[in-house]
């Protein structure tokens, strides 16, 4: 019997596949094949397929894993998903050309709510950057139990958050995009469900969400992590400032945000160049480059 997949299920499977590829070992192909077989048994809304990160993840499998079974399953899965999107597009075209009929009530309901949802996001602007920001915020606020009425409420909340961010910067520049990305990252964080619930219930207002610092938005897990960092005794290999110098020139490999800090330390011999230690303030990812 087929199960149904929501946005969070697809995100979880995408993360699992990426983790397997990072820890590549003798069982990699087998583990990947098992997940691909599970995905083949899931019913997935074509709208989710269009926007799912897992599409890129599976597409990359064929390049990274030279295994006939993995390649076959990847191609088959992507082909089936593509066909489901084409099928829905044809149903929509049929409605547009021939009008509604007894075969299209589900398509009609989807179109009506999607049309209203998009109208809310485009309510007072034609700027594609702003509309895209609102769409990303709305998706970050969605939960597994969302029904169509909830989606319309979410669209309004996302639109209001974006408005307050835009009012502060008055243009969609790098600072605006960084602010939007940090809201999206924190609202979609599965370790930060409480934040999302408080925003949806109005406990935290849209204006507060737009203006809160990354530290204020962070999950309890991230707050504890930062607190632990601040209490750690300083080692010989790091500079006295825990978070280092803030910069927007670095790009986090994980969340793609550029709200980062860096420290330069001498790890090797004194005659070797210094190493730069980087920390993403948005998601907490740490990395280094020489």
Q: Are residues 13 and 78 in the same domain?
A: yes
Q: Is residue 227 part of a domain?
A: no
The residue from 56, 78, 98 where one domain ends is: 98
The residue from 170, 200, 220 where one domain ends is: 220
Do residues 263 and 229 lie in contact, with contact meaning Cβ atoms separated by under 8 Å?
no
| Closest to 185 (Cα-Cα) out of 230, 139, 226 | 139
| Strand residues in the chain grouped as ranges (E) | 3-5, 42-44, 245-247, 260-265, 275-280, 286-289
Q: Are residues 195 and 130 in the same domain?
A: yes
Q: Is residue 158 part of a domain?
A: yes
| Closest to 290 (Cα-Cα) out of 275, 271, 278, 269 | 275
Q: Are residues 204 and 255 in the same domain?
A: no
DSSP 186: H
| Closest to 146 (Cα-Cα) out of 6, 1, 39 | 6
| Chain centroid offset of residue 147 CA | 20
Q: Which alpha helices (H) appear in 218-283, and where do they start and end?
A: 220-231
Q: Are residues 158 and 77 in the same domain?
A: no
The residue from 220, 245, 280 where one domain ends is: 220
Both structure tokens of 288 = 């280094």
| Residue 61, H or E segment | helix 54-64
User: What range defines the domain where residue 131 resides?
Assistant: 105-220
Q: What pLDDT tens digit does each residue of the chain (290 aa) get?
A: 345 556 677 778 888 888 888 877 778 888 888 888 888 887 777 766 765 678 888 888 877 888 888 888 888 888 888 888 777 777 666 665 565 555 555 556 666 677 788 889 998 999 999 999 999 999 888 865 555 567 788 899 999 999 999 999 999 999 999 999 989 988 888 778 888 889 988 999 999 999 998 778 876 666 666 566 555 544 434 443 445 788 888 888 888 888 888 888 776 665 667 788 888 888 778 888 76
Q: Are residues 26 and 129 in the same domain?
A: no
Placement of tokens 């007894």 in the chain: 102
How many structural domains does the chain have?
Answer: 3
In angstroms, the CA 142 to CA 154 distance is 7
* Neighbour tally for 240: CB within 10 Å: 7
């Amino acid at each position: 019997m087929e199960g149904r997949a929501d946005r969070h299920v697809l995100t979880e499977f995408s993360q699992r596949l990426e983790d397997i590829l990072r820890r590549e070992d003798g069982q990699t192909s087998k583990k990947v094949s098992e997940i691909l077989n599970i995905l083949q048994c899931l019913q997935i809304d074509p709208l989710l397929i269009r926007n799912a990160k897992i599409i890129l993840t599976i597409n990359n499998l064929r390049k990274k894993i030279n295994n006939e079974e993995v390649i076959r399953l990847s191609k088959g899965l992507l082909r089936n998903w593509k066909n489901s999107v084409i099928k829905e597009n044809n149903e929509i075209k049929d409605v547009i050309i021939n009008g509604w009929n007894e075969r299209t009530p589900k398509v009609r309901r989807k179109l009506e709510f999607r049309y209203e949802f998009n109208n809310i996001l485009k309510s007072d602007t034609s700027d594609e950057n702003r509309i895209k920001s609102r769409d990303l915020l709305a998706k970050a606020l969605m939960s597994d139990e969302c029904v169509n009425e909830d989606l319309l409420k979410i669209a309004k909340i996302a639109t209001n958050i974006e408005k307050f961010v835009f009012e502060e910067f008055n243009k969609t520049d790098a600072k605006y995009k960084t602010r939007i990305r940090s809201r999206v990252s924190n609202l979609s964080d599965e370790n930060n469900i409480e934040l999302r619930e408080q925003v949806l219930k109005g406990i935290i207002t849209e204006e507060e969400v737009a203006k809160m610092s990354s530290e204020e938005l962070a999950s309890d897990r991230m707050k504890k992590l930062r607190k632990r960092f601040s209490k750690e005794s300083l080692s010989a290999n790091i500079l006295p400032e825990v978070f280092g110098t803030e910069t927007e020139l670095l790009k986090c490999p994980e969340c793609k945000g550029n709200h980062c800090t860096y420290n330069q330390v001498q790890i090797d011999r004194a005659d070797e160049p210094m190493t730069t230690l980087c920390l993403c303030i948005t998601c907490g990812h740490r990395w280094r480059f020489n």
